[in-house]
Structure 1
Amino acid sequence: MGVPVYLFTGFLESGKTTLIKDTIASPDFADVSSTLLILCEEGEEEYDPAFCSEHQVTVVTVENKEDMTEKLLEGFAGAYDAEQVMIEYNGTWEMDLILDMDMPEGWELQGIYTTVNADTADSYLANMRQMFLEPMRYSNLIIVNRSGEQLDKLKLRRTVKVFNPRAQLVFERPDGTPEQDLGDELPYDLSQSFIELESFDYGLWYLDVSENPKKYNNKTFKFLAQVYKGKNMRHRIFVPGRFIMTCCANDVQFLGYLCRYSMPEFPYQDRDWVTVTVTCRYEFAREYGKRGPVLYLQEILPAKKPEEELVYF
């Protein structure tokens, strides 16, 4: 059996060290007798010798990004006979640096975990968006600690989920207890059969439909969209959607769902702005290759281009 490698990412003071220590000490995580911990930055929280001795943890330090190489990891693998490897990664180093490496023989990357300090999350989103979000693109689990009223949780959740829908996102209160799931906190009332979406809520609507298509079955929505009708798209199908910026200008994506219409002629071109009224159904679509959300057009009207064309998360 290979040696599992666990990668912990996040900015300085985001709680990586605390998470790693809790993980190592947890009897529910893994039954191993030795751990190699590769430390790429030193924060306020430290690994004291007593803890390392108790849990058979060997700590090695990589101070500079240039030193993090395949040759260095090979040397660690040969020098230390550890049953698991944990890497406390520097939050300012590119993820490609570690993810593009060939791991030493027998080492297998098992999970990527990101920690976020809720006190600084909004500031990083505003000022260091690309660097802040990059690790979350690859993470299996994202833990937002010290969470309280200071953080727009829905904004952060939909920012992450739109480009990493498989990530598990957990918000923890300052005392370490988990907060309730945010899944039901939507800016519209799903108990209604007809819902008119605000322009800035399109992204959250798109995301929640993707995650929970069954609960949108037979609901009718009205929203502002742009037209996409590709050359290879089947007759009487188009996509009403929006361009969404998830991380930075390079990550703008057009996101929308298939929409069927019955009108004999479709009078709109790609990128035209329209207001659509559609009914959502959860059914098989050839384009998806499986069951998924399919829209049925009830009404389409020309619309003015909004001042802000992009939807942000």
Structure 2
Amino acid sequence: MEQEHVPIFLITGFLEGGKTTFINEIFKDPEFAEGEKITLIVCENGIEECENNILKENNVTVVHINSKEELTDSFLKDCNKEHKPTKVIIEYNGMWEYDIVANVEFPEGWEIAQVITPIDASTFEGYMSNMKSLLIEQFNDSDLIIFNRCNEKTDKLKFRNSVKAVNTKANMLFELENGEIDDNPLELPFDINGDVIEFEDYDFGVWYIDATESPEKYEGKSIKLKGIVATNPKYPKNIFAFGRNAMTCCEDDIAFLGILCQTEKPINFKGKEWIEIEAVIHKKFVAQEEREIPFLHVKNYKVVDEIEDELIYF
């Protein structure tokens, strides 16, 4: 009989970074816990422990590991055989090498669904200054990073850029000291008022969303950026689409985010080439969609090498 799919939620981060608090919160979410048989593997003992009443109410079995040598293939197979979980949470020890859990062989059907890293915003800069390599190892493979204990002095844009420089795919949440999500928008990670708007390759998605939602902000502004050419025989002369492939959840969700371009320079692209363009942004009303969209008037372009991480993430 084939083993049913068992998602693993790997919670990484340093001691006192908020891992246990986060786990307590997700157990309170009925969509996550209701009807499940959850095994929680705890690899370190923090100051705060999971609340016993929450564990009991949600049919959670807690298994403790006292040393990294105990986290083995056979240990996990025994957990699967004894507890038969439908979900697994691993509260990982922040001082252990990430390779230990990355290289372990999980039981049949077990698969990492999400890597989540809570980080104490009040200590983040200190760790980045003094223990940078260890901290980066904690969030290098994270799908979601939660900066908790934020306040009005938290430099969210700086934190966000520090993470994106290492892990372009990570999504980030900022949580206030009272536990509420800070949903105030971040500053744009580029200067919209510069002579030419330029940004890091991983910020294409930020610019694309802002430009398509508020094209009036960019009217007449110059921009320089890299992306993929997409041509279509139905397009008028010297018109092409330009954009990037984006992944919102998994590989099945990859889609091309494109903007139409017009150039006076003859085009003869060979397939989906990577180019860098210098262009002026204009807004254009599309009657079919009853809205304005950004349109790029290309002043110059050149073929470039594909960038290291060609996908953008949301």
Q: TM-score, normalised by structure 1?
A: 0.64
User: In the alignment, what sits opposite 1:170?
Assistant: 173
Candidates 166, 174, 179, aligned match of 2:182: 179
User: 2:154 — aligned with what?
Assistant: 151
Q: Is 1:37 matched up with 2:52?
A: no
Q: 2:195 corresponds to which residue?
A: 195
Native 8 Å contact 1:119 1:150 kept in 2:
no
When residues 160 and 123 of structure 1 are mapped into structure 2, their CA distance, relative to the original with a 3 A threshold, is: same
Answer whether contact 2:157 2:186 (CA < 8 A) is retained.
Answer: no
Aligned counterparts, 1:23-102, within 5 A: 23-102=26-105
Change (3 A) 1:87 1:294: farther
1:85-136 deviations in whole A, cap 9, x for unaligned? 1100011212221112221112121111110001100101111112112232
Amino acid in structure 1 at the alignment position of 2:108: E
Matched letter for residue 195 of structure 1: D
Q: Report the AA paired with residue 4 of structure 1.
A: P
Q: Which amino acid aligns with 2:114?
A: G
CA distance in 1 between counterparts of 2:195 and 2:96 reads 44
The residue aligned with 1:220 is 222
Between the aligned partners of 2:180 and 2:73, the Cα distance in structure 1 is: 38
Superposed CA deviations along residues 227-284 of structure 1, whole A, max 9, x for unmatched, are xxxxxxxxxxxxxxxxxxxxxxxxxxxxxxxxx9x9xxxxxxxxxxxxxx944779xx
The match for 1:12 is 15
CA, structure 1 residues 48+213, in 2 after alignment: closer, same or farther (shift >3 Å)?
closer
TM-score for the superposition, normalised by structure 2: 0.64
Shift of 1:173: 0.6
1:212 positional shift: 2.5
Partner of 2:113: 110
Distance 1:139 1:92 in 2: 16
Letter in 2 for 1:209: F
Aligned equivalents of 2:299, 2:149: Cα separation in 1: 43
Aligned AA (1:220): S
Q: Say if 2:174 and 2:182, in contact at 8 Å, map to a contact too.
A: yes
Letter in 1 for 2:104: M
Unaligned runs of 5+ in 2: 212-217, 225-262, 266-276, 283-295, 302-314
Give the % identical residues: 33
Equivalent pairs, count:
231
Distance 1:62 1:158 in 2: 34
Residue identity in the other structure for 2:121:
A
